[in-house]
Amino acid sequence: MGLPESLIASRPLLREALPTRKGEAEGGCGVIGLAASVPVAGRHLLQALVQMKNRGNGKGGGIAAAGLDPTFFGVSQELLEQDYLLAIAYLDGTAQAEVEGSLETTFLLEHALSLPTLPDPRVLGLEAPPPAVRCYFARVRPEVRARFMQAHGITEEAAAEDEVVYQHSYRLNRAFYASEGEKRAFVFSHGKNLLILKLVGYGDDVVRYYRLEDLRAQVWIGHHRYPTKGKVWHPGGAHPFLGMHEALVHNGDFANYASMVSYLAQRRIYPLFLTDTEVAVLLFDLYHRVYGYPLEYVIEALAPTTERDFTLLPPQKRRIYRMLQAVHLHGSPDGPWFFLIAQSLPRERTFRLIGITDTSMLRPQVFALQQGVAGIGLAASEKQAIDAALESLAQEDRRFWPHADRYWNARGGSHTDGGAFIFTVERGSFLCTDKFGRPIQADPLKQPPLPWPPVVRRARPPELPPAELYAWFVRKLPEWGYGDLEALLDELVRGATCDQERQWALQTLTLLLDRRYPTGGLKPSAVRWLLEQTLSRFLEHIRQAPSPGYRWLGQGAPVPEPEPEATLVLDARGYPSEGADSLARTLVELYRRGFRRFLLAHTRGQRFVGCGLGAASHGVHIDVYGSVGDYLGSGLDGAEITVHASGQDQLAQILKDGRLVVHGDVGQTFMYAAKGGEAYILGNAAGRPLINAVGSPRVVINGTALDYLAESFMAGDPLQGGGFVILNGVYFDEDGSLRDLDTPYPGGNLFSLASGGALYVRDPHRRLSEEQLNGGEFAPLGRADWELIRPYLEHNERLFGIPLSRLLDGREPGEVYRKVQPAGHQALLPEEAWVRKEA
């Protein structure tokens, strides 16, 4: 009998839990995780969690940390690494003696401490008192381990000890925390160098209540909202959930929860908390610890590769994946989900943050990577949460700065990267890889923004029109260091006091923020940081000395008299993300008072910007700087919004009229159910852009979309005033050069089930195949089509500096752009059809 069978056979005394059930269903959780080559304090998660608070509901929040600081617990590094850290939650203080008596039968308890807490949880508005937490550093008694190994024929001591700990925690939870009965105590976590804490509240409440602001760890994950199935009014029902040496948080829910429980029961694994998230981490533990699968196979068992992506895998991978799916497919989570896993690998002294998304991609996720003197990887429900964590770090530690080198969305089940990414920290080294183990990194030739010496000689930028001055900066920048650039930018805004000078400086700064260009040895992310610092100083001058063309307003400040031609600088700091006093509501009130030009500065996750302006809001211009939140421009009817960064999820939903320009990427369900208007996107769209759009929306996406672009598109004939999408399939590399993507569209559901409108896809190498269309068909690009889309491509050039001549590359439009039009409904092709067609 092999080790996996021996471990499973050792579990006959683990009685099956109470019958499975489904409770309340509510999705949209807020998750964030980070892994860094240096320890990071817990306080740096706080602002990110606060800004995602709308994704929670106060009924469940938690954190997990791996790669811990031993001084927080009063132990040595050796003890921290060798002992199991048993974190026990006490809901009833009288249970402590009984629990410790149980522990002592199995463990040698070498150190114990009670975690500090706030004196009164009511200061955080918590409805239920959080549990007291006592941490025990323990080793399995040698005689217990020996008896277990002899009884079950297990020869590996470490595997035996892990299983002893796992089974003891199960029995303790069954005895002290019955899902349907009395709740006195339960195990938060039992892994090595891993801690889980949770309560009935929000994730940031956990950090504050248990005073984790100064706890340093190399991996963190945080979560808002209770699990979508199961009991929710006690902390046992909150995320994260525990495997052995890993903690998992989850956004989404499973349609096959009952079958997953049945699958686990066949392997003598019985969930206790009746939640979908718990079964996910139990599956991970089964595949990783018990079966000993490499991480790639664990991910494949959880998120099977299907359809077109499966056929594009190398033959050897297809063979192995078929075997994995044959054994595990009926236990794989079915439904929209995104996992973040914090993992401690005690034998290797390694820690990992793992992000996995399912193939439907219905839950939002963003990954990010920053590499300099220190390395850090992040993943979250929203990009703005990642930016908040980086900004917090940068304020204390100059090894970090507020922007990642790379941001990306995962396409679940992708044949190119697997739709899963792993950030690994091992003895101070840092590595980011995809599912297949291929490294992902920033340009190693770009130098991080270390503290630089002051510049003695200051030069004044030449007095040129903004476009020419921008071009001068771009020519000179590869020759400069960070100090030179900082000094020149400071001079650019130093003397800008009158309206004309301010307009000149603002237009130049904005061009430098919006465009992509060579930066020499400087990191583009750090150049952006310097530009934003300069913009902040510039806007502070306006606050101190308003001029007729530029007014300033911050939270609590008196509202100036409206002047339609003046620009109102609205400082977003301090405005809540949503609600009666939010930035979005304030913007609507200012519009009603007569303001028409707005510059929103320092946005930090505020949602619904541009919503609620009402019908016929033509003539309103809103420029957004910073890191804005979800639903921007939704319901817009005439106004023009320019985002001088990337957008988030649900942008421009049900857009009716107006224009949206985004100098970056956009998130999930961009322009869902849009009815009209124009949009120009510099980068990529995540999953399901323009689904269920009708009428006449007209959109240019310069990058690509993950999948399901224009699903159920119902716009009219574009040649008769209907809607369309132009997909250019290009990107800028880290040195500012425009490149073609490997394929203009990677998914298998382009224009799926569309009944109107058209797509114009730049595909000069004819890499799109008919099998990707699923409801569309290729049609000749006629003269009328080109005359229709050419003005939009010309405006795209003015906005982003992407020359139409470069897109055509000396060829005729019909050789470069392909038209996709509706072809009547057809069902998704079965996998066998993909195999035949690809063959």
Within 226-338, where are the H helices?
257-265, 276-285, 295-302, 307-311, 315-328
pLDDT digits (tens, 9 = 90+) for 471-516: 999 999 999 999 999 999 999 998 889 999 999 999 999 999 999 9
Position 815 scores a pLDDT of 97
Judging by DSSP bridges, how do beta strands 350-357 and 366-371 pair with one another? unpaired
pLDDT digits (tens, 9 = 90+) for 769-806: 999 998 899 999 999 999 999 999 999 999 999 999 99
pLDDT digits (tens, 9 = 90+) for 96-112: 999 999 999 999 999 99
What does pLDDT average to over the chain? 92
**How far is 245 from 190, CA to CA, in rounded Å?**
7
Pick the residue with more confidence: 306 or 180?
306
pLDDT digits (tens, 9 = 90+) for 644-660: 999 999 999 999 999 99
**How far is 405 from 402, CA to CA, in rounded Å?**
10
Token pair for residue 693?
Answer: 């759009």
| Long-range contacts from 325-330, C-beta under 8 angstroms, 24+ separation | 325/300, 327/301, 328/287, 328/301, 328/304, 329/304, 330/259, 330/263
C-alpha dihedral over 748, 751, 753, 757, to 10 degrees? -170
For the structural domain made of 3-13+27-434, what CATH number should be given?
Answer: 3.60.20.10
* 64 neighbors 353 (Cβ within 8 angstroms): no
Position 829 scores a pLDDT of 45
| Long-range contacts from 372-375, C-beta under 8 angstroms, 24+ separation | 372/399, 372/400, 372/401, 372/448, 372/449, 372/450, 372/523, 373/399, 373/448, 373/450, 374/36, 374/37, 374/38, 374/399, 374/400, 374/430, 375/36, 375/37, 375/430, 375/431, 375/432
**How far is 393 from 389, CA to CA, in rounded Å?**
6
**How far is 408 from 479, CA to CA, in rounded Å?**
29
pLDDT digits (tens, 9 = 90+) for 432-451: 999 999 999 999 999 999 87
pLDDT band of residue 18 (cuts 50, 70, 90) is very low
C-alpha dihedral over 824, 828, 832, 833, to 10 degrees? 20
Adjacency order of strands within the sheet including 550-553 = 550-553, 567-571, 597-604, 621-627, 637-643, 657-662, 678-681, 698-701, 724-727, 758-762, 817-822, 776-779
pLDDT band of residue 375 (cuts 50, 70, 90) is very high
Residue 300 DSSP symbol: H
Map out the domains of the chain as residue ranges.
3-13+27-434, 466-541, 551-625, 646-826
Position 347 scores a pLDDT of 94
Q: How far is CA 151 from the centre of its chain?
A: 46
**How far is 700 from 710, CA to CA, in rounded Å?**
13
**Average pLDDT estimate for 459-480:** 92
**Average pLDDT estimate for 396-405:** 95
Pick the residue with more confidence: 505 or 53?
505
Position 179 scores a pLDDT of 56
pLDDT band of residue 572 (cuts 50, 70, 90) is very high
Range with the lowest mean pLDDT among 47-61, 197-211, 531-545, 588-602?
47-61
Domain covering 646-826 assigned CATH 2.160.20.60 in the classification:
yes
Q: Is the pLDDT of residue 836 over 60?
A: no
Position 6 scores a pLDDT of 82
Q: Which amino acid is at 26?
A: E
Q: Is the pLDDT of residue 580 over 70?
A: yes
**How far is 570 from 588, CA to CA, in rounded Å?**
12
Q: Is the pLDDT of residue 832 over 70?
A: no
Token pair for residue 757?
Answer: 């409108």
Q: What is the pTM of this model?
A: 0.93
Q: What percent of the chain has pLDDT over 90?
A: 80
pLDDT band of residue 826 (cuts 50, 70, 90) is very low
**Average pLDDT estimate for 605-615:** 95
pLDDT band of residue 177 (cuts 50, 70, 90) is confident
pLDDT band of residue 460 (cuts 50, 70, 90) is confident
Q: Which amino acid is at 601?
A: A
Q: Is the pLDDT of residue 21 over 70?
A: no
pLDDT digits (tens, 9 = 90+) for 122-176: 899 888 889 999 999 999 999 999 999 999 999 999 999 999 999 999 999 999 9
Q: What percent of the chain has pLDDT over 70?
A: 94
Position 834 scores a pLDDT of 45
Task: Give, for 795, the enclosing helix (H) or strand (E).
Answer: helix 783-800
Pick the residue with more confidence: 823 or 75?
75
Judging by DSSP bridges, how do beta strands 246-252 and 621-627 pair with one another? unpaired
Position 793 scores a pLDDT of 98
Q: Is the pLDDT of residue 455 over 70?
A: no
pLDDT digits (tens, 9 = 90+) for 687-745: 999 999 999 999 999 999 999 999 999 998 999 999 999 999 999 999 999 999 999 99
Fold match, 3-13+27-434 / 646-826 = no
Position 46 scores a pLDDT of 92
Position 831 scores a pLDDT of 47
pLDDT band of residue 28 (cuts 50, 70, 90) is low
Scored b (16 or more CB within 10 A) or e, 52-74 reads bbbbbbbbbbbbbbbbbbeebbe
DSSP per-residue codes, 654-702: T--EEEEEESS-B-TTTTTT--S-EEEESS-B-SSTTTT-EE--EEEES
**Average pLDDT estimate for 603-624:** 95
Q: Is the pLDDT of residue 57 over 70?
A: yes
Position 775 scores a pLDDT of 83
Q: Is the pLDDT of residue 631 over 60?
A: yes
Judging by DSSP bridges, how do beta strands 758-762 and 350-357 pair with one another? unpaired
**Average pLDDT estimate for 580-587:** 96
